[in-house]
Amino acid sequence: MPLYLCIKDFIWHIYYNLVYPSNNKIFIKSDIKNPIRKILMIPDPQIFVETGSVKTLCLNYKKYLERKNYAVEILVSTNLTKVANIANSKEYDFVHFHNPLQLRVVKRKMKRDFCITNHRMKEILRNDNNLAPSIIALNESERDFYIKNRFKGVVGVVPNGVEREKFSFIPQGDGRGNGRAICMVRPLEGKGEDHLFNNLNDKVKVDFVGMDEIGGLKKLGLCNVLGKWSREEVHQRLTEYSCLILNSEMESSSLTVMEALSAGLSLVVSQVASANLDERDFIKVVPVGISDEDLAKMINFQIENNDKYREEIREYSKGFDFGNTLGRYIEFVEKSIKYMYRY
């Protein structure tokens, strides 16, 4: 192996050992006997957090796929050598990495074909058109990007899906939204939360969920920082709000957006976060370079008009139900397996 790759491997091992305890390992096994296929999902530890979208997604895949007799096991570990050793096992028909920051190291240890889903920016893969034998794109534009950049493997589109029936829903005219927007974030996620909190706090009513404080503050002007919510709180309380803000340049096809629609919220989202969404009155896409004054007007307009659209929004969310996306995932798994074992 070239020296520079050895150095890169070493740096990444140091990073993971510093950020995560060495014993940080989760291995969720399957009890399915004689499955149609056996799938191993490997999310990056950095994003497999208690209330995070990727953890929700992986657990949903496990639940729904096992209903169809596909065995799914989930491995989360900072020991990259063990990850590769388990993934290389002939026990699995399909190995699926989610947001594989650690794949920079792991892919050099892999002795078998595998699949990746990049839940962040497609630009992570810009300089490697042979990163993995198969890639799941979350939207059409992402797929087109891989094809344009001459990706050599199988690429398919499988949008994120949501268990919409788990979300409480207050219909229009029945208590409706609370006249506030909500921004659901984790620290350092780059969703524009600092700018919203510091620059629009006297213009819009926004609650920030997922962080304990912003810049040492829990309240500033009309904005509040509410801390972390459990999944149950998200299911129950999201519908109390009128609008979701996701002004992220990192996340496309965000599960948070689908959840907000299931709960009846209007949207103010970035162009990146608007992937897979149609043009609707209750969906506003933030133009690049918008002024703070105009952004505040856009958010307040969505808050004020949410009540008239809540039933329509809830109906629109059916298109993102997990049951509708599961078939596309199964189809992609089977297509990828045929490609992987084509020789």
Q: Which domains does the chain have, with CATH numbers?
A: 3-161+321-340 (3.40.50.2000), 164-320 (3.40.50.2000)
The per-residue pLDDT for range 109-141, each reduced to its tens digit, is 888 888 988 765 455 555 555 667 788 988 888
pLDDT bracket for residue 1 (50, 70, 90): very low
More reliable by pLDDT, 205 or 190:
205
Six token digits for residue 212? 């304990």
Collapsing DSSP to helix, strand or coil, 269 comes out as strand
pLDDT bracket for residue 261 (50, 70, 90): very high
Q: State the DSSP H helix or E strand holding residue 65, giving kind and residue range, or none if neither.
A: helix 53-67
pLDDT bracket for residue 188 (50, 70, 90): very low
Contacts of 319 (CB under 8 A, 6+ apart): none
- Tell me the mean pLDDT in the region 93-118: 81
User: Residue 270 pairs with which residues in a beta bridge?
Assistant: 286
pLDDT bracket for residue 71 (50, 70, 90): very high
Phi-psi domain of 189 (left: phi exceeds 0; alpha: psi -120 through 50; beta: other) = alpha
Judging by DSSP bridges, how do beta strands 154-157 and 181-184 pair with one another? unpaired
Kindly tell me the sign of the dihedral angle through the C-alpha atoms of 174, 178, 181, 182. Answer: negative
SS (H, E, C) 68-94: CCCEEEEEEECCHHHHHHHHCCCCCCE
Cα 217–chain centre separation: 27
- Gap between the Cα atoms of 337 and 343, Å rounded: 11
